[in-house]
Structure 1
Amino acid sequence: MATEHPGADSFDYVIVGSGAAGSVLANRLTEDGTATVCVLEAGPPDRNPWIHIPAGFIKTLVDPGVTWQFKTEPLEMTGGRRISTVQGRTLGGSSSVNGMIYNRGQPADLDNWAQRGNRGWGYEDCLPYYRRSENRMGICDEAKRGREEDGIPVTDNDWINQVSEAFIAGCMGLGIPRNPDYNSGDQAGVGYFQRAIRRGMRVSAARAFLHPAMRRPNLEVRTDARASAILLEGKRAVGVQYLHARGAAPKTVLARREVILSAGTVNTARLLQVSGIGPADLLGRLGVPVRHELRGVGANFRDHYASRFVMRAKPGVVTLNQLARGVRLAQEVWRWSRGKPSILATSPSHVHVFWKSFEGLDMPDLQCVFTPGSYAEGKVYVLDDYPGVTAGAWQHRPESHGWVRARSTDVFEDPEINPNYLSDPMDRQVHLGGMRLLRRMLNTPELAPYLETETLPGPQVQSDDELLDFARRNGSTTYHLIGTARMGPASDPSAVVDDRLRVHGLQGLRVVDASIMPSMPSANTYATTLMIAEKAADFIRGRQAMPAEAA
C-alpha cells in the first residue's frame, strides 16, 4: 500500500460520513484507545447556530451549506413533480437537521429482518443496542429503555398547546388509546412525541457521540472531505480517495483494517457505484470498470410518502402561526432563553398517532402527526398568516420501491433518485385509509370549538380518485430514506451486505447506515440507525457472539 499511495495517512479504520451511524462508530471504536480512526465528512463543522436551536430546523432544511439538496425524479404518482429529499451535510449528518423525533418502531419490524435470514437482528437481539444508544430522561420501563449518560437524550414534550390537547382527546374519543411510551414495544395509540432535545437545545449524534470522541488523540475528523472512490486491492478495500472541492487534487487516506461507509442511503450507494461496486450494466453506462459486481447496490430504495390536511382555526384560537410572529415571538424567545417551555424548543411534529388504515389489522400500519400550526401550500415550513393546524399521514411499511443511481463519476453531480412513490396498489389503498383517518381525527367534537374549515385539500375532495389525485399533486417525502445496500444472506442476489454488515464478496469493507435496512421500520429512521451503529461497533470489535457459520 505504501508504494502505491506514497505520503498517504493510514488509520485502522476510515469512516465515510459523520451522521448518526458515523458519529456512534467514531465514539465506540476509539473509546478504549487501541484503534485509530479517521472520519471523512463531506460538509462543514456543525457551527451553524440554527443547527442547535430546535426551531432552526426550518432554516437548515433549505440551507445548501449544511444539507444535500437532493430531489427525486419527476414521477407519474407525484404529478410530474420533483420532490425534495434533503439530507444532512455537516457533522452529525441528518441528525443535525432532522425533526428530532425519537421513534423505534414495532418489534415486528426487526423480527421480520431476522426472518429474512439476518441472524441476530430480531427485536430481542437489537433491544440492548437501542437501550445503549439512548438516555431516556423521563418515566419509563427501564427493561425496555436506556439510561446511558453518553446516549442521545430522549425527552418528553414540555410545551403544551390547548389545540394539541383537544386533538388527543378527540382521537381517544374515536377509540384510539393514549400511549404514554410508544417506544416501549407497544406502539399503538396517541400522545406527544419524544425527541432529542435537552435544556431547549437539539442534541445531534455529533453532540452526543462525535464531539466527546474528538477529544481523544486516536480520532481525526476531516470536514469538507467528499469521498470520491473506495480504493481496492483485488477484493480488499484499503482506503478512500476524497476531494476538498470540485476540480481539486484528490487526497487519499488508507485503512489498515476496514473502510466503513456511513454516508447515508443516497451517498453510500453512489460511492459504491462510482468505485466499481454495483450492477454491471449501470457501471458500464458510467464508464466505470467493474471491480465487483453486486446487483443490489442502489436498489430496494424506499421512503415514507406523506399527505397533509390543513384546517383553519377559529378567530381567537392561538396556534404557532401567531406565536412565531411579532411580540408573541419575542415572548417565546425570552422564555426559551430562560429554559422555560417555548416553541423554539419543540419538534416540528407535536403529536403522534400510530393506528390502522382499516379495522381488523393486528397492528398499526400508519403513522400520523399533528402540529398546532399551518403552513402555506407548496412552501417548505412557511407559516400561513392565519391560525390553523396541520395533520399528516404515511404508510409504515410501503411496498413501493425504486433506486438510487449515479449519473456520472462526478460526485459533485446529484445522483438519480427514484422512490416510485405509491406505485404499488396496496400502498395507494393504505394511503387512502390514512387520509380518511386524518379527516375523522380533525373533525371530532373535541376539536370543533377550535377549528373552522378544511383548507387543504378542502371539503370538495371526497372520492378515492379525488383524494389520490390530491396525494399525487401535494404529497411529499418524510426524509426517511433506506434500503440501497440491503442486508441479506449471500443466497439473496439482491443483498449487498451480510448480517455483520460486511459487503458480500469483499474484504475490509462494511456498510453501517440506514441503507442496510432490508425493509422500512414502522417509524422515523433515526433511532434504528443509532441502534444499527451500536450493534456494528460490537461486530467490529468482536464483542458480539454470532453463529459459527457467520464468522
Structure 2
Amino acid sequence: MDTYDFIVVGAGSAGCAVAARLSESGKHSVLLLEAGGSDLSPWIWMPIGYGKTFYRKSVNWMYMTEPVPSMQNRPSYWPRGKVMGGSSSINAMVYIRGQHQDFEDWKAMGNPGWGWDDVLPYFRKAETNDRGGDDWRGDSGPIHVSTMDRDLHPMCQDFLAAGQELQWPLNPDFNGARQDGVGTYQNTAKDGMRMSTARGYIRAAGKRANLRVVTRAHATRVLVEDGRAIGVEYLHKGRTVTARARAEVILSGGAVNSPQLLQLSGIGPGALLRDKGVDVLHDLPGVGRNLQDHMCIDHMYTSRVPTLNQQLYPWWGKAWHGLRYVLTRRGPLSLGVNQAGGFVHGRPGLERPNIQLFFSPVSYTKTPPGTRALMNPDAFPAFLMSAQPTRPTSRGHLAIRSSDPLAPPEIHPNYLDTEIDQQEMIESSRVLRRISEAPALARVIEREVTPGPQIQTDEELLEDIRARAVTIFHPVSSCRMGPDAGIDVVDNRLRVHGLRGLRVADASIFPTLTSGNTNAPAIMVGEKAAALILEDHQA
C-alpha cells in the first residue's frame, strides 16, 4: 500500500492546479488520480477539435440528465472531461472570470476570504496573458490566455458595431475593470494550441519526483476512520488499489464526480444513502444539492455575406485550413467557435449585466440541438448568436443510482424552475432579436431561421425555449461552500463539514454560479485551495 502526504482525485481544471502547487516546494509527496487517460491527442490540442471530443467516450464522461419536465421532458447532454486536464481539455476555451460582484456575493453568503480582492491574486497567479500583466491580469502563470483577434472572422466586426449601435460599450477585456459591453473573447491557448491545465500545470510538474500521476484510475471510495479521511480506493488495470494519505484527501472531480464519490463513500444525505445500499458514515444533507447550470438559446440567421461555412464546408476548404493550421497554427482551426460576445442588461434598472452573448460566424442545421460538428457546418452562408442568463435561480440535484461506483449518477438539473429564470430566458431571446435588427447586422442578415419571425409573443418565445434551449455546460455548486453544515458541504477553507483531512476543490464548491464561463474560476479555486492547504499544514 502506497502512502502520500496528499491525494488529489481528479486531474481537471482545479485538480491539476492543486497537485502542481502542493508538489511545488518538493517537501510534500502528492498522488494525482485521473479516471481518464492522456491528453496527447490532436483533437484535444487543436482548438476546433473540441467538436470531436464533445462526443468521444475515450475522453468524456458523456453524461445524460434525467428528462427535464420544464423542457418538454428532454434530457440534457452533459459532456465532462474524462482525461488529463478534465473539462479544460474539451471545452470551448473561452476565458471569463465572472463579475467582481459574484465573489462579493460569495463572501456575503458566509465565506470570508472569497471576495473579489481575495480571489484576484489567484486569478493573476494562474495566468500569463499575451497582453502582459497589470492590476487585473497576470504575466507569469502556467495558463496562457491569448487574444484571438488576428484570426477572427470579419463578421465579428458587424456584431460589435451592432452592439455599439444599441449603446453597449466596446469592452477590450471582459476580465478587466468591468465586464459589461461587447467585445471579442480571449481563449486559453498558446501558439495556436489549447492550453489545458494538464498542459499548463502538469507538463512540467509531472517530472517532479514527489508527484505521481496515475491515469485510468477510477476512484471508488474515500476511506474514513474515526472521522478522518485516510486514503482512497481506486480501480486501476482491473484491480482495486488502496492509497493512504498522511495529511489530506482533496476531491477535484468536478460538479458531478465529487458529490458522486462522496455519496459512494457514505458521505451525504443519509436517507438517500440508505436507500441505495450505502452505509452512512457521515450524514451531510447538502452533498449533491444546490446544483446550478447555465442555459442558452440559439438564434440562427442566413447571411448575405460569406461565413465560416464557406471556408469549412467544402472538402477543399477543410484541406486548405488543415494544412494552414499544421504549417502556421493560424486560421479558423486555431480558434474556438465563440469568437465574439458580450455582457448586457436584459431590462432597465439592473445594476449588473444579466445576459451573456455569443457570436459564432458558423451554423449547423443537420445536427441535434446542442451538437457542434465544427468541421461540418452548413453548405450555405449562415451564423449563430446565443444568449444565456448569467445567474439562474433554479436549483437541481444529483444522486447515485446505486452503490455501483461505475454507474453514472442521476442528474436532475431542474432548469426553468423559477419564474425569474423563465423571464430572463425570454429576455435573452428578445436581446438577440434587438441586436439582429441593429443596422450593422441587419444589412448582412437574409432571414431569421430559428426561432423564425412567426414566433413573437412571450408565450411563443418561452415555448421555443422549452423546445430548443440547451445547457452551455457550466454545472456547479453540488458541494456548495458555506457555513451551515445542514445545507452546505465545505467551509470557507474547503474542508468538508464534520470530517477531518478531507476537502473539495473544484467548481462544485461555488456558492453560486459565476457570470460567464466557469473554467477560469475553477482554476482559481484550485490555486486558492492549494494555498489554503499549505497554509494550514505550515501552521
What TM-score, normalized to structure 1?
0.94
2:383 alignment partner AA: V
> Which one of 233, 239, 246 corresponds to residue 256 of structure 1?
246
Alpha-carbon contact 1:22-1:262 (below 8 Å) kept: yes
Unaligned runs of 5+ in 2: none
Aligned residue number for residue 153 of structure 1: 145
Name the SS of the counterpart of 1:529 in structure 2. helix
Specify the alignment match of 2:160 in structure 1. 168
Aligned-partner Cα distance in 2 for 1:418–1:160: 37
Could you tell me how far 1:291 is from its partner in structure 2? 0.2
Q: SS of the counterpart of 1:146? A: coil
Q: 3-state SS of the aligned residue for 1:257?
A: strand
Does the C-alpha gap of structure 1 residues 492 and 225 become closer, same or farther in structure 2, counting only changes over 3 Å? closer
The Cα of 1:160 is off from its aligned counterpart by 2.6
- With 449-458 and 326-335 compared, the bigger mean Cα shift is at 326-335
Partner of 1:462: 456
Displacement of 1:453 after TM fit?
A: 0.5
> Quick one: which amino acid aligns to residue 290 of structure 2?
N
Deviation at 1:334, TM superposition (A): 3.0
Q: Distance in 2 between matches of 1:362 and 1:501?
A: 30
- Report the counterpart of residue 388 of structure 2 in structure 1: 394
SS for the counterpart of 1:81 is coil
Match of 2:340 in 1: 351
Identity percentage over the alignment?
41
The residue number in structure 2 matching 1:273 is 263
Quote how far apart the aligned CAs of 1:492 are.
5.0
Q: How does 1:407-426 map to 2 (within 5 A)?
A: 407-426=401-420
Asked if 1 retains the 8 angstrom alpha-carbon contact of 2:48 and 2:333, the reply is yes
Q: Does 1:211 align with 2:203?
A: yes
Q: Provide the C-alpha distance between the structure 1 equivalents of 2:119 and 2:163, rounded to a whole number of angstroms.
A: 31
CA contact (8 A) 1:378 1:474 kept: no
Are the equivalent residues in 2 in contact too, given 1:120–1:499 (CA < 8 A)?
yes
Could you tell me which residue of structure 2 aligns to residue 286 of structure 1? 276
> How far off its partner does 1:162 sit?
2.1
Which residue of 2 is the match for residue 299 of structure 1? 289
Task: Specify the SS of the correspondent of 2:383.
Answer: strand
- Aligned with 1:130 (options 123, 128, 135): 123
Instruction: Write the distance in 2 (CA, Å) between the matches of 1:409 and 1:287.
Output: 6
Contact 2:273 2:279 in 1 (8 A): yes
Asked if the contact 2:95–2:145 (Cα under 8 Å) also holds between the matched residues in 1, the reply is no
1:150 Cα deviation from its structure 2 partner:
2.7
399-408 or 144-153: bigger deviation = 144-153
Specify which of 317, 321, 330 is matched with residue 309 of structure 2: 321
Where 1:467 maps in the other structure, the secondary structure is helix
- Determine the structure 2 residue equivalent to 1:381: 372
Q: Distance in 1 between matches of 2:487 and 2:49?
A: 39
Post-superposition offset of 1:46: 1.0
Shift of 1:244: 2.7
Q: Give 1:543 shift.
A: 7.4
Q: Does the 8 Å CA contact 1:259/1:509 hold for their aligned counterparts?
A: yes
Task: Answer yes or no: is 1:336 the counterpart of 2:325.
Answer: yes
Q: Which amino acid aligns with 2:372?
A: Y
Alignment correspondent of 2:400: 406
1:75 to partner: Cα distance: 1.2
| Structure 1 CA distance for aligned equivalents of residues 117 and 432 of structure 2 | 33
Report the residue type matching 2:243 in the other structure.
Answer: V
Of residues 193-202 and 372-381 in structure 1, the stretch that sits farther from structure 2 once superposed is 372-381
Cα gap change, 1:54 to 1:151, in 2 (>3 Å): closer
Which residue does 1:516 correspond to in 2?
Answer: 509
Distance between the aligned counterparts of 2:99 and 2:510, measured in 1?
14
Equivalence for 1:238? 230
Partner of 1:4: none
The counterpart of 1:35, out of the listed 25, 28, 38, is: 28
Q: Secondary structure of 2:437's partner?
A: coil
**Secondary structure of residue in 1 paired with 2:14:** helix
Give the secondary structure class of the aligned counterpart of 2:239: coil
Inter-partner Cα distance in structure 1 for 2:537 and 2:456: 53
- 1:205 deviates by 0.4
| Aligned mates of 1:152, 1:36 — CA distance in 2 | 27
Q: Which residue of 1 aligns with 2:472?
A: 478
Are the structure 2 counterparts of residues 139 and 36 from structure 1 closer, same or farther at C-alpha, using a change threshold of 3 Å?
closer
Counterpart selection for 1:448 from 442, 449, 457: 442
The question of whether the paired residues in 1 share the 8 Å contact of 2:303 and 2:446 is answered with: yes
Segments of 5+ residues of structure 1 without an aligned counterpart are 1-7, 546-550
Q: What amino acid sits opposite 1:304 in the alignment?
A: H
Q: 1:292 to 1:57 in 2, by over 3 A?
A: same
Superposed CA deviations along residues 272-300 of structure 1, whole A, max 9, x for unmatched, are: 00100000110011111110010000000
Q: Say whether the 8 Å CA contact 1:199–1:339 is kept in structure 2.
A: no
Contact kept in structure 1, 2:485 and 2:497, CA below 8 Å = no
SS at match of 1:11: strand
How many residues are aligned here?
533
**Secondary structure class of the residue paired with 1:68:** coil
In the aligned structure 1, how far is the partner of 2:145 from the partner of 2:458? 42
Separation in structure 2 between the aligned mates of residue 267 and residue 160 of structure 1, nearest angstrom: 36
Would the aligned equivalents of 1:501 and 1:510 in 2 still touch at CA under 8 Å? yes
* Alpha carbons 1:29, 1:35 under 8 Å: kept: yes
> What corresponds to 1:3 in structure 2?
none
Please state how far the C-alpha of 1:78 moved relative to its aligned partner. 1.3
Query: Contact (CA 8 Å) 2:216, 2:236: kept in 1 or not?
Result: yes
